[in-house]
């Protein structure tokens, strides 16, 4: 069982049952799977963190240029190379992988999207997605809630996504999603997974025409 704790103006959502120690425990509820830090009074996606990393941070604060270059997916299926996909191992053990998007020619490596990912079968994933969505929606009264059913994945044939969103007034998004890849993609090493993502409005606009 895992927990959500408000501590020193931060909401610590430990969604994989990992221990967390803080000075003051002010609030506690339970659910599972991901780890997200949320500023209690925040209406700006930049106040949210995954593995201590926020939108607008420089990826260089957390990884070396060598690690970033090695993690960059030069075979991404995007039509444009405006944004680069970078997949890296996390420093903790909450996630199997962290995926970032940065602008191709940005020397500061500013993060426009960050996702925490864990492999999980679709049926279990959908249950977890809905559970997380229901628990988190009480925290975001000023966001637009969007829940989508099965959709074709635009980049992979016979693959699907199931997404729920919290859309901020700025146009930035928090997404909780399940990805169900085809057997062909699975055989190439792409597992079905559950992800929680922080995305800027600019990156989401890019995604609309990315495939």
pLDDT tens digit string along 159-210?
A: 788 999 999 999 999 999 998 876 555 555 566 789 999 999 999 999 887 7
Instruction: Reply yes or no on whether the pLDDT at 18 is more than 50.
Output: no
Instruction: Reply yes or no on whether the pLDDT at 15 is more than 50.
Output: no
Contacts of 67 (CB under 8 A, 6+ apart): 88
Report which of 49, 45, 47, 23 is spatially closest to residue 35, judged by C-alpha positions: 49
| Stated pTM of the model | 0.78
Confidence class for position 97, pLDDT limits 50, 70, 90:
very high
pLDDT digits (tens, 9 = 90+) for 106-144: 999 999 999 999 988 888 999 999 998 888 888 788 899
Residue 197 pLDDT: 92
Instruction: Tell me what percent of the residues of the chain surpass a pLDDT of 90.
Output: 39
The whole-number average pLDDT for the span 32-49 is 63
Report which of 28, 19, 6, 29 is spatially closest to residue 132, judged by C-alpha positions: 29
Sign, CA torsion 191/34/17/160? negative
Report which of 135, 143, 206, 176 is spatially closest to residue 50, judged by C-alpha positions: 176
């Amino acid at each position: 069982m895992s927990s959500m704790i408000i501590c020193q103006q931060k909401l610590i959502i430990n969604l994989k049952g990992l221990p967390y120690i803080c000075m003051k425990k002010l609030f506690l509820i339970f659910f599972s799977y991901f780890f997200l830090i949320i500023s209690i009074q925040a209406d700006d996606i930049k106040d949210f963190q995954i593995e201590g990393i926020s939108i607008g941070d420089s990826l260089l604060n957390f990884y070396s240029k060598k690690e970033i270059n090695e993690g960059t997916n030069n075979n991404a299926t995007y039509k444009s190379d405006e944004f680069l996909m970078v997949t890296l191992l996390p420093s903790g053990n909450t996630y199997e992988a962290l995926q970032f998007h940065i602008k191709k020619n940005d020397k500061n490596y500013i993060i426009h999207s960050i996702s925490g990912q864990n492999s999980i079968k679709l049926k279990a994933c959908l249950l977890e997605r809905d559970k997380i969505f229901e628990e988190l929606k009480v925290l975001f009264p000023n966001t637009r809630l969007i829940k989508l059913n099965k959709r074709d994945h635009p980049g992979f044939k016979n693959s699907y996504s199931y997404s729920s969103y919290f859309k901020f007034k700025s146009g930035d998004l928090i997404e909780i999603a399940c990805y169900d890849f085809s057997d062909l993609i699975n055989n190439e090493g792409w597992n079905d997974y559950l992800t929680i993502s922080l995305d800027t409005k600019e990156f989401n606009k890019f995604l609309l025409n990315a495939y």
